[in-house]
Chains A and B, each alone.
Chain A
Amino acid sequence: MTASGRKIGGTLLKVDNISLSFGGVRALNDVSFDIKAHEIRAIIGPNGAGKSSMLNVINGFYHPQQGTITFKDIARTDIGPYDAASRGIARTFQNIALFRGMSTLDNIMTGRLLKMKRNLFWQALYFGPARREEMEHRAVVERIIDFLEIQSIRKVPVGRLPYGLQKRVELGRALAMEPDLLLLDEPMAGMNVEEKEDMCRFILDVNDEFGTTIALIEHDMGVVMDISDRVVVLDYGRKIADGTPDEVRGNQAVIDAYLGVSH
């Protein structure tokens, strides 16, 4: 299902020959693929295939021993999470990583931090430019709250919310960064069918309305085949297949990786 109005553009992110190991464990072994602008790209694979490690490399949390990552035509080997965030990469986590002591509103507002510029003194005065800035960003955040349909939990501390809503707030926080590339690590894990449908709708809408490029890891094959434009399959840290959902579905290596082969 390729959304009607959007146009898949040139290469936004290119991963070249990435290898990452922890001690003797090779988490990623010479992996290369690319992500095109405005597409939904799924990364799948059995447990321990290195999918989350791949996302961690992309957003600067792990430093690969080998390989380069080219984002918006700038190649780099080593980058910190801050640089990745300021250049437009946002992500959500497999295990929810929200700020539990803060309200939904404040959590999403933290996504705007990089865009807020007033210094400590203006902040302490909370007057003039600092106040105006706060209101501008509040308005942006309110649009995201409307978009995700979470108006009623605006002031609730996120620690008190059910799992599905927490996932949604986390997506909201990532959206507040207005990213060019959004990395979603198992956005639908542990959800029931309705919650999954809601989440799919949000992902497609984000892609369609804001043109955000999305890379997601997901175990629900139905979802992956439905919403993604292209799929890359990892197994034991290696890339074993790459292509459209249909190509991947028929690939013998993929079937073997998921179902096992008899020896």
Chain B
Amino acid sequence: MLYREAGQFKTTYGDDQAVFPIRQDRWGMAIILAIAYVALPWLATDYFITSIMIPFLIYALAAIGLNLLTGYCGQVSLGTGGFMAVGAYAAYNLAIRVPELNLIVIFILAGGAAAMVGVVFGVPSLRIKGFYLAVATLAAQFFLDWAFARIKWFTNYTPSGSVAAPPLDIFGFAINTPDRRYFLILAIVTVMALAAKNLVRGRVGRSWMAIRDMDIAAEIIGIRPLRAKLSAFAVSSFFAGVAGALWAFLHLGAWEPLAFDINRSFLLLFMVIIGGLGSILGCFLGAAFILMVPLALNQIPTALGMPLSTAMISHLEFMIFGAMIVFFLIAEPHGLARLWALAKEKLRLWPFPH
């Protein structure tokens, strides 16, 4: 009964096209942001911040990148991990070779580097679709894995191939505690998620969706497939690149190429499918879900007094992911985000559905 839009009149097209046209949603969002920015850093333990919130936010950011490409533009990609690696190594090389660069500038340039690589590997999408494109992006993943493991220049000739982020600071403000890292990531993710939302509700997003839904009709109304697809690859890889740089610098601290292998790509694809193809909210839901399942498997049986072995948990994890993906692909291709939208739709009428 609280979730009603009655009495909220939209008098301009701007109101109608707002991200959250309903007042209750705006309040909900404000509360979530207040929790994320104020309550969590104040109340949560360092463990919660570093092992749950930080990976959650970075995964969500990378998932947004993949979703722009796969969910909005319809181009399946298995190379997200590779594009994250480009961001991570670009950031690393910029940080050690041009130490005077501001950290934010480094992240933006890292995203830019990933975007360029993404465009190069997006070129085959002009000719091939669906399944075959997925294989082509898989090639990108393996090539990038190989490049960062074998071309020593990228890792600055460290003998082990593993590299570490330099000490980080922004405008002389050291990013050295979990809270500070969390704030930086949260700010970046907030800004970029909003930017993604703006893109998909405007001209660019519509041209992507048109290509996804029917490329022939899109061409006939004057969308150039080349431009639309490559811009999707560029923006998607930019997001993945920034996420990769954040993952390397602020989550791992020290890493090797394996940190961005094919499994990362698969995990992100699972998030996007479970969360919801073609939804920004879905990226957050998917990322949360994928992170929660192992935790829940760990905590719940212990709480019930029958702890599971670690091997058992990791097997169960695979089985649950597999089952969930099959379930969502069959029953609800638009994922958790769609379920959430349906729940809201029901809630609008509740308790008088007729």
Which residues of A are at the interface with B, using a C-beta cutoff of 8 A?
59, 61, 80-82, 84-86, 90-91, 93, 97-102, 106, 109-111, 113-114, 116, 118, 120, 123-126, 130-131, 134-135, 138-139, 142, 173-174, 177
Given A102-B213, A120-B231, check contact A85 B220 (CB 8 Å): yes
The one of A101, A111, A120, A138 that contacts B221, using a Cβ cutoff of 8 Å? A111
Q: Is A81 a contact of B198 with CB atoms below 8 Å? A: no
Q: Is A120 a contact of B212 with CB atoms below 8 Å? A: no
Expressed in whole angstroms, the Cα–Cα distance for A195 and B46 within the complex equals: 65
Instruction: Give per-residue flags for B193-204: 1 if the beta carbon is below 8 A from chain A beta carbons, else 0.
Output: 001101101111
* Contact partners of B278 in chain A: CB under 8 A: 101
> Is residue B26 contacting chain A, with contact meaning CB distance below 8 A?
no
Q: Is A110 a contact of B13 with CB atoms below 8 Å? A: no
* Contact partners of A61 in chain B: CB under 8 A: 216, 220
The one of A59, A116, A124 that contacts B198, using a Cβ cutoff of 8 Å? A124
Expressed in whole angstroms, the Cα–Cα distance for A174 and B218 within the complex equals: 11
* Contact partners of B216 in chain A: CB under 8 A: 61, 97
Give chain B nearest CB distance to A199 CB in angstroms: 19
The one of A84, A99, A116, A174 that contacts B203, using a Cβ cutoff of 8 Å? A116
Given A125-B195, A126-B198, A138-B17, check contact A82 B203 (CB 8 Å): no
Which residue of the partner chain A has the closest CB to B206? A110
Q: Is B222 a contact of A113 with CB atoms below 8 Å? A: yes
* Contact partners of B207 in chain A: CB under 8 A: 110, 113
Which residue of the partner chain B has the closest CB to A114? B222
Q: At the interface, is chain B mostly helix, strand, loop or mixed? A: helix
Q: Is A99 a contact of B219 with CB atoms below 8 Å? A: no
Give chain A nearest CB distance to B329 CB in angstroms: 16
Which residue of the partner chain B has the closest CB to A60? B220
Expressed in whole angstroms, the Cα–Cα distance for A118 and B196 within the complex equals: 16
* Contact partners of B224 in chain A: CB under 8 A: 82
Q: Is A118 a contact of B213 with CB atoms below 8 Å? A: no
Q: Is A86 a contact of B209 with CB atoms below 8 Å? A: no
* Contact partners of B231 in chain A: CB under 8 A: 120
Given A59-B220, A82-B219, A124-B195, check contact A113 B212 (CB 8 Å): no
* Contact partners of A102 in chain B: CB under 8 A: 206, 209-210, 213
Q: Is B206 a contact of A106 with CB atoms below 8 Å? A: yes
Q: Is A81 a contact of B209 with CB atoms below 8 Å? A: no
* Contact partners of A138 in chain B: CB under 8 A: 13, 17
Instruction: Give per-residue flags for B170-199: 1 if the beta carbon is below 8 A from chain A beta carbons, else 0.
Output: 000000000000000000000000011011
Q: Is A126 a contact of B202 with CB atoms below 8 Å? A: yes
Complex A-B, nearest 5 residue pairs according to Cβ-Cβ distance, in ascending order: A85-B222, A126-B198, A99-B213, A97-B217, A124-B195
Given A97-B214, A101-B213, A120-B231, check contact A81 B17 (CB 8 Å): no
A-B contact pairs, 7 of them (CB 8 A): A61-B216, A99-B214, A101-B212, A106-B206, A118-B203, A124-B196, A135-B14
Expressed in whole angstroms, the Cα–Cα distance for A174 and B13 within the complex equals: 22
Which residue of the partner chain A has the closest CB to B226? A82
The one of A113, A120, A139 that contacts B206, using a Cβ cutoff of 8 Å? A113
The one of B195, B206, B214 that contacts A98, using a Cβ cutoff of 8 Å? B214
Give chain A nearest CB distance to B65 CB in angstroms: 13
The one of B14, B17, B210 that contacts A99, using a Cβ cutoff of 8 Å? B210
Expressed in whole angstroms, the Cα–Cα distance for A190 and B328 within the complex equals: 35
Q: Is A100 a contact of B220 with CB atoms below 8 Å? A: no
Q: Is B198 a contact of A86 with CB atoms below 8 Å? A: no
Expressed in whole angstroms, the Cα–Cα distance for A116 and B206 within the complex equals: 12
Q: Is B202 a contact of A134 with CB atoms below 8 Å? A: yes
| Residue from A97, A123, A142 whose CB has the most chain B CB atoms within 10 Å | A123
* Contact partners of A177 in chain B: CB under 8 A: 221-222
* Contact partners of B204 in chain A: CB under 8 A: 120, 123
Which residue of the partner chain B has the closest CB to A93? B217
The one of B14, B17, B201, B221 that contacts A110, using a Cβ cutoff of 8 Å? B221
Expressed in whole angstroms, the Cα–Cα distance for A138 and B207 within the complex equals: 16
Which residue of the partner chain A has the closest CB to B235? A120
